[in-house]
Amino acid sequence: MANSVHTLWNLLSAGKVGKLTSLCSIILIVFLGQNNLRGEHDSTQITNLKATFIVHTLKYVRWHDEDFPSSQSHMEMLVVGKDEHNIASRLSYIINSSELRLKNLPIKVRNVNSWKEARELFGKGSKKIALLLDSELKSWEKEKYPDISGLLIVGESQKFLRKGLVMTFRKENNRLKLGVNLRKAKAMNLEISSKLLSLNRVIFQEN
């Protein structure tokens, strides 16, 4: 430590330009180092982005008619797990303000506390979309994906990568990205528009 301070002092004693260069070098070291301190803290902004991504993405997903009984008056999106960042309200707000409809049906957002609770709801009525929050990671396994045609489940973060979901968010280089598992989408009888898949800066394909 003392050596470091001494070295730093020597660097700073080397004239004005020298000082600035030294300072910049130190900053560069800080910047280029690994961001080891980064923890699980999630900002409000990323939650806002996730909600916006979901609403944009839904416009590029096509459900088959047979997966939508004509008797339904609306579609329901389940937010499953402990909603610390209130993404359910955010989704609800932007779905309403964008007047988004799927198969000409309005969408309602509902928060359920656990996968167990959600599992009982799937298959009833028009619950065809779910966002699986990180709190449900421990209780989630690939095999738990319900075999209900047209069911779209999105994972909240990269922790759900390779966990068998149709879509999963990932933060990469301080930007949000959405992974799409085409094989799983096909298996769930969902069609993903090629326009969405061509957005290579936003979308990555998950195998």
Partner 1 sequence: MPLKLSIKVDRSVILVMCIKNLTIISQRIKRAIIGFWVILFFSFLSSFQALADELSSFEKRELSRLLEMDWNELANQPVSGVLGYDQEHWRNPASIAVIRPDDVFDGGHLQLVDSFRGVGGMYVTRGNAYDDFVTMRNFSGSATEKFLVLVDGREVLQPMGGTITWGTEEVPLALLDRAEIIRGPGASIWGTNAVSGVINVTTKPAESTQGNSIRLALESSGTFLGEFVHGGKIRDGEYYRIWVRDQEYAESDLLSGMPARDDGYGRKVGFRYDKELGMHLDLTVAGSYSTRRFEHVLDLSSRLLYPTDPNSTSPLPNSLIPPGFMGLPSVSAGEFPFIPISVATGLGLPAVPGIGDYPTWPNASGIVQPSGVPLIVNYEDLPQDAGHLRTRLSGVTGNDFEWSIDAFAEKYETNLGHVGHKWERDEYNLEFRGNRPLGERNHLAFGLGYRYMEFDVTETTTAPWRFPTINLQTGLPSSDIPILQYNGPNTFKRFSAFVQNTLEINEDLFISFGNKVEEGDLSGTTIQPGIRASYAATKNNLLWAAYSRAHRQASLVERYTEVSYARIWNPNPFHPLLNPTGQQWINQSFEADPTLDDEVMDAYEIGWRSSPSEKFLWELSLFYYDTKDAVFSGPPTYEAHDYTSVGGELTFNYIPNSFWKLQGSYSYSKGEKEGVRQTDFPESMASLASVIHAKDDLKLVQNLYFTGDRILPSSYNELSIGDYLRLDLGMIWQVGEGWRIGLFGQDLLDPDHPENMYTDLDVEPTRVKRRFLLTISTEF
> What is the footprint of partner 1 within residues 105-164 (CB under 8 A)?
none
Q: Virtual CA dihedral for 180, 183, 189, 190, nearest 10 degrees?
A: 20
Q: Per CB under 8 A, which region of 3-11, 41-49, 116-124, 130-138 contacts partner 1? A: 41-49
Residue 197 in the binding site for partner 1 (CB under 8 A): no
Q: Can you tell me which of 1, 29, 201, 207 binds partner 1, judged by CB under 8 A?
A: 201
Under DSSP, the state recorded for 66 is: G
Of 44-73, binders to partner 1 (CB under 8 A) are: 44-46, 48-49, 51-53, 55-56
Residue 71 or 173 with smaller CB distance to partner 1:
173
Part of the chain binding partner 1 (CB under 8 A), chosen from 12-20, 69-77, 114-122, 135-143: 12-20
Can residue 86 be called a binding residue for partner 1 (CB under 8 A)? yes
Q: Is 69 helix (H, G, I), strand (E, B) or coil?
A: coil
Q: Which of 33, 66, 143, 194 binds partner 1 (CB under 8 A)?
A: 33
**Please, which residues have CB within 8 angstroms of residue 83's CB and are 6 or more apart in sequence?**
111, 133
Alpha helical stretches, state H, the chain: 2-12, 15-32, 44-58, 87-98, 115-121, 182-187, 194-197
Cross-strand partners of 190: 63
Nearer to partner 1, 101 or 116 (CB): 101
- Residues 1 and 95: their CA atoms lie apart, in Å, by 55
Closest separation in Å from C-beta 30 to partner 1: 7
CB 81 within 8 A of CB 132: yes
Residue 85 CB, shortest distance to partner 1, in Å, is 10
Of 23 and 148, CB closest to partner 1:
23
For residue 145, the minimal CB distance to partner 1 (Å) is: 27
What φ, ψ does residue 26 adopt, rounded to 5°?
Answer: -65, -45
Q: First and final CA of the chain: distance in angstroms?
A: 47
Instruction: Give the three-class secondary structure for 177.
Output: strand
Query: Residue numbers of the site for partner 1 (CB under 8 A)?
Result: 16-17, 20, 23-24, 27, 30-35, 37-39, 41, 43-46, 48-49, 51-53, 55-56, 86, 89-90, 93-94, 97-98, 171, 173-176, 199-202
